[in-house]
A and B are shown apart, each in its own frame.
Chain A
Amino acid sequence: MINSILLVDDENLFHLVFEDACSLLDITLTLEAISSSDEAEKRFKHYMEFPNDAQYHKPEVVFVDLNIIGSTFDGLELVNRINNLYGNGVVIGMISSSSDSAEIEKSKEYGAQFWIVKTDEIEPRLERFREDYEGYKNKTMGFKVYK
Chain B
Amino acid sequence: MKKIEITDALQQTLIDLSKDRKIFLEGNICKVIDYEKGSDFGNYIEESIEIDKSKRRQRLEVTKDIQKKNIELVKKHDENDSLMKDLKVALSDAESAKAQALGDLDIMHKKTQFKLIGKIVHVALIIIISVGVVTTMLYAYAILYSSPETTLIGNTWSNVLGILLTNSFSIVGTIMGVKYASESKSD
- Contact mask for chain B residues 1-36; partner A; CB cutoff 8 A; 1 contact, 0 none: 100000000000000000000000001100110000
**Which of B31, B53, B63, B64 is the one whose CB lies under 8 Å from A29?**
B31
A21 with B70: CB separation less than 8 A: no
A13 with B56: CB separation less than 8 A: no
A29 with B60: CB separation less than 8 A: no
Interface size on A, residues (CB 8 A): 12
What does DSSP make chain A's interface, helix, strand, loop or mixed? helix
A141 adjacent to chain B (CB < 8 Å) = no
Residues of A within 8 A of B56 (CB): 20, 23-24
Bound Cα distance from A24 to B31, whole angstroms = 11
A13 with B70: CB separation less than 8 A: yes
**Which of A11, A17, A23, A26 is the one whose CB lies under 8 Å from B64?**
A17
A20 with B70: CB separation less than 8 A: no
A120 adjacent to chain B (CB < 8 Å) = yes
**Contacts A24-B53, A24-B56; is A17 near B67 (CB within 8 Å)?**
yes
Q: How far is the CB of A46 from chain B (nearest CB, A)?
A: 24
- Among all A-B residue pairs, the 7 with the closest Cβ atoms: A20-B60, A20-B56, A13-B67, A16-B63, A29-B28, A17-B63, A24-B56
A-B contact pairs, 11 of them (CB 8 A): A11-B67, A14-B67, A20-B57, A20-B60, A20-B63, A21-B60, A23-B27, A24-B53, A26-B31, A29-B1, A29-B32
B interface with A by C-beta (< 8 Å) = 1, 27-28, 31-32, 52-53, 56-57, 59-60, 63-64, 66-68, 70
A interface with B by C-beta (< 8 Å) = 11, 13-14, 16-17, 20-21, 23-24, 26, 29, 120
